[in-house]
Amino acid sequence: AADPLPPSIQLYGCNIVESPLIFASPLIYWLGALMLFLLISLFFLNKEMRKNQADLDRANRELELRRSIEDSISSAIVITDLENKIVYTNPAAQVITGYSEDELQGKTPPYPFWADTSVLPATLLGDPSKLDPAAFPYRFDLLVRHKDDEQLNVLLLATPFYSSYNEHIGWIYMMRDNTIESQSMNLTNDAIASYQRLLNSVMSCISVVSHKPTGTMLGIHNDHYTEQLGNTADGHLAISRACKIPFNPQGSREAEVWVDSLERWFSITEARVTLPGGSHVTLQSAQDITQRKINEKELEDQTNRMENSSRLITLGEMASTITHEINQPLTAITAYANTAIEVIGNAPEVNRGQVLEIYKKIANQAGRIDKIIKNIRAFAKRRPTTLENVPLANVINDTQELGKLIEKKYAGIRIIYELPKVLPNVLCDPVQIMQILMNLIRNAAEAILEAGCTDRTIAVIAKVGANEVELQVADHGPGISDTMKASLFTPFFSTKKNGLGLGLSTCQTIAESHNTRLRVRDNEGGGTVFVFDLKICS
């Protein structure tokens, strides 16, 4: 039914069954197809084999890598299932425990290598649903018994073992030999214990407080602190607050402080320290000195009483002289008053000039008595030392007045004054300086008379230096031996029959309150010189 082809196109054809080539027979055809199939299969088989070989190589490499990782890990790894049956151990686990892989495999707690089963990490055996992921890994310090019976301190870290489907299927234990760490920990603990023992042997309250925004915390402190001030930073702070002295540029300070809230005296040393982490702490050493302060106060009171007695003794000894001194102007006053009565009573006319002259004399004598009494009162009055800026000339003048009483009491004694023309102002308590001079003059007078020395002159000498005036009381009496000099200023040392031995020790106490010392030396040509200094004031 096809249209006839155009004449330019000719159609050729042939019968394939009759083809002379490969398709000539069906057997050959099937053989060819089979070969083709075999060729293709061989190709794919080869490809698959190569892929398998690569997978195998990779698996081998991974296995080797895993082995070398396992071999390189120094920590022991033990993996268990949820019943704590050991399913895996690495070589280090076998080294630490001394048991082979086979000996450990399948074991359940208590494992043969756990020395102390009482510290079994029991939490791990509990309900897995109650695990606290935030607490992983659990840490335990355990004692492991090696197969050869040696014991090791081990740090054990335990974490849950999850499958690739995130299912909790067991536990991974990592154990590390902690012996060296625990040895060094023991050494550290020993060092801390020795340090604490040292601190406890100190009889002061030692404490360190740290200053944080949240408050002040008590850190290291010794037993003495706990006994005296308790277990908080309060005691440290109370003492610190009572100290009004500022810290020096090096961050430390020292003081003796009275703590109101504790009603005690403390001698304290404080240092502010910045620790390597940048936090600030204050170290305080506080020694309770309340008893010492009480003793000091008692000693001071005693010294004051001694000084007082010494002064009163001097006055008592001089009482007859004083009476005599006052008696003289009193007799004169009586005489002048009687003359005045006579002049006014008998004369028809009052001679104003004559009466005035008599009254002037009376006033003069009364003034003399007043001066003597004032001097004695000032001398006898008990006062605490008050250093003031006073003209030395005034002190010497008042001494001269009292010196006259001594000259009268000790017959033959003459006091001379070797003074520069101008005397400076000095820092002193004038009455106390007079007391020293009077004591020294009286001692010299007694020594001279007792020894029967011919030279009965006592010299009061002032030598003005750049910053100080040196005051001397020198005599040509019997002198003082070196052995005696050693105990001269000791209270109650006396060579006199009725001597109290308080004079020189009192003078020394007064000299010390004037920041000087009373010294004794031999006088040229025999006798003794007592010396002390007074600071010059502008």
Q: How far is the CB of 306 from ligand ADP (least distance, A)?
A: 11
* Alpha-carbon gap, residue 173 to 96, rounded angstroms: 13
The residue written with tokens 């009759």 in the block is 18
Give yes or no for residue 488 binding ligand ADP (CB under 6 A).
yes
- C-beta closer to ligand ADP: residue 153 or 505: 505
Stretch that binds ligand ADP, among 179-187, 250-258, 278-286, 441-449 (CB under 6 A): 441-449
Of residues 254, 245, 259, the one with CA closest to residue 293: 259
Record the tokens describing residue 231, joined without a space: 């277990």
Give yes or no for residue 444 binding ligand ADP (CB under 6 A).
yes
Give yes or no for residue 495 binding ligand ADP (CB under 6 A).
yes
Angle (CA) 529-403-438 rounded to 5° is 50
> Whose CB is nearest to ligand ADP?
503
Q: How far is the CB of 536 from ligand ADP (least distance, A)?
A: 27
Of residues 418, 421, 392, 416, the one with CA closest to residue 404: 416
Choice from 500, 512, 513, 519 touching ligand ADP (CB under 6 A): 500
Give yes or no for residue 501 binding ligand ADP (CB under 6 A).
yes
- C-beta closer to ligand ADP: residue 229 or 453: 453
Choice from 503, 510, 511, 531 touching ligand ADP (CB under 6 A): 503
Assess contact for 520 and 488: CB atoms under 8 A. Answer: yes
Sign of CA dihedral 278, 281, 282, 285: negative
- C-beta closer to ligand ADP: residue 288 or 446: 446
Stretch that binds ligand ADP, among 29-37, 108-116, 148-156, 486-494 (CB under 6 A): 486-494
- C-beta closer to ligand ADP: residue 395 or 507: 507
- C-beta closer to ligand ADP: residue 98 or 499: 499
* Alpha-carbon gap, residue 287 to 279, rounded angstroms: 26
Give pairs for 243-252: CB < 8 Å, separation 24+: 243/268, 243/270, 247/272
Give yes or no for residue 493 binding ligand ADP (CB under 6 A).
yes
393 CB-side CA count, 13 A: 6
Stretch that binds ligand ADP, among 73-81, 175-183, 421-429, 471-479 (CB under 6 A): 471-479
Q: How far is the CB of 459 from ligand ADP (least distance, A)?
A: 12
Q: Give the Cβ contact number of residue 283 at 10 Å.
A: 18
Give yes or no for residue 522 binding ligand ADP (CB under 6 A).
no
Helices (H), 14-90: 26-72
Say which DSSP state 120 is in. Answer: -
Length in residues, the chain: 538
- C-beta closer to ligand ADP: residue 234 or 470: 470
Give yes or no for residue 478 binding ligand ADP (CB under 6 A).
yes
Record the tokens describing residue 504, joined without a space: 């020189």
Helices (H), 73-178: 91-97, 101-104
Q: Which helix (H) or strand (E) holds 405?
A: helix 392-409
Q: How far is CA 154 from CA 96, 173, 298, in A?
A: 9, 12, 65
Q: How far is the CB of 313 from ligand ADP (least distance, A)?
A: 8
Q: Which helix (H) or strand (E) holds 447?
A: helix 430-451
Choice from 326, 499, 519, 537 touching ligand ADP (CB under 6 A): 499
SS3 of residue 492 by DSSP: coil
Report 373-392 residues binding ligand ADP (CB under 6 A): none
Give yes or no for residue 528 binding ligand ADP (CB under 6 A).
yes
Q: How far is the CB of 493 from ligand ADP (least distance, A)?
A: 5
Give yes or no for residue 523 binding ligand ADP (CB under 6 A).
no
Stretch that binds ligand ADP, among 40-48, 113-121, 398-406, 496-504 (CB under 6 A): 496-504
Residues that bind ligand ADP (CB under 6 A): 443-444, 447, 475, 477-478, 480, 488, 493-496, 499-501, 503-504, 528
